[in-house]
Amino acid sequence: MQRRAALIVRSASSIVQKYDWKLSTLLAQLPMDTVWCDDLYMSTPFFAKYYEMTGQSSYLDDADRYVRSVHRGWEGLKNECIDKFGNVYGVCRGSGYSYSALYYKNELTWQLNDTHGIGIVLLAGIEALRLREFFSSQTTQ
């Protein structure tokens, strides 16, 4: 699992570099209460996980800003997408293929606790918790 996550981060890093995207540019577009739309795989859990994994790496200029983004991403998920029972809302169900725009608008709706959305939400929560614990241990030393 850890190797897979590292591969995803390396792939995302190469895409960011290839297209000369600036992560700070992406962050600047997010209001405080925003959750990424699941468009082009740029979902909030992915970026929360991405920032967690890269925020501690030396190649990012402003690690503190990215660490805060992990917490913002997780808070957005908790407040907007997860209820008090732990149900995950807003993940688009798996799709087929259609030439009709109405299929994507009306039939391809979100599904409560969709299995391909739960895992990355759990990873984002775990990593936000790990990051919080890491910084808590640093301040007590």
pLDDT in the model for residue 83: 92
d(C-alpha 108, C-alpha 94), whole Å:
8
For tokens 């907007």, the residue is 80
Closest CA to 90 of 71, 119, 113, 70: 113
Question: Of 84 and 43, which is predicted with more confidence?
Answer: 84
Question: Of 30 and 104, which is predicted with more confidence?
Answer: 104
- pLDDT over threshold 90, residue 10: no
pLDDT in the model for residue 51: 65
The answer to whether the Cα torsion of 69, 50, 21, 101 is positive or negative is negative
- pLDDT over threshold 50, residue 9: yes
The domain spans of the chain are 2-140
pLDDT in the model for residue 135: 76
pLDDT in the model for residue 87: 93
Provide the total of helices (H) and of strands (E) in the chain, helices listed first: 6, 0
pLDDT in the model for residue 28: 54
Closest CA to 46 of 18, 82, 70: 70
3-state helix, strand, coil in the chain (%, to 5): 60, 5, 35
Closest CA to 43 of 3, 10, 81, 7: 81
**Through-space distance between the first and last CA atoms of the chain, rounded to whole angstroms:** 31
- State the pLDDT confidence band at 85, using cuts at 50, 70 and 90: very high
Phi, psi dihedral angles at 4 (to 5 degrees)? -65, -45
- pLDDT over threshold 50, residue 38: no
- State the pLDDT confidence band at 11, using cuts at 50, 70 and 90: low
pLDDT in the model for residue 82: 92
- pLDDT over threshold 80, residue 6: no
pLDDT in the model for residue 41: 45
DSSP 107: I
Tokens of 56: 């501690």
pLDDT in the model for residue 104: 77
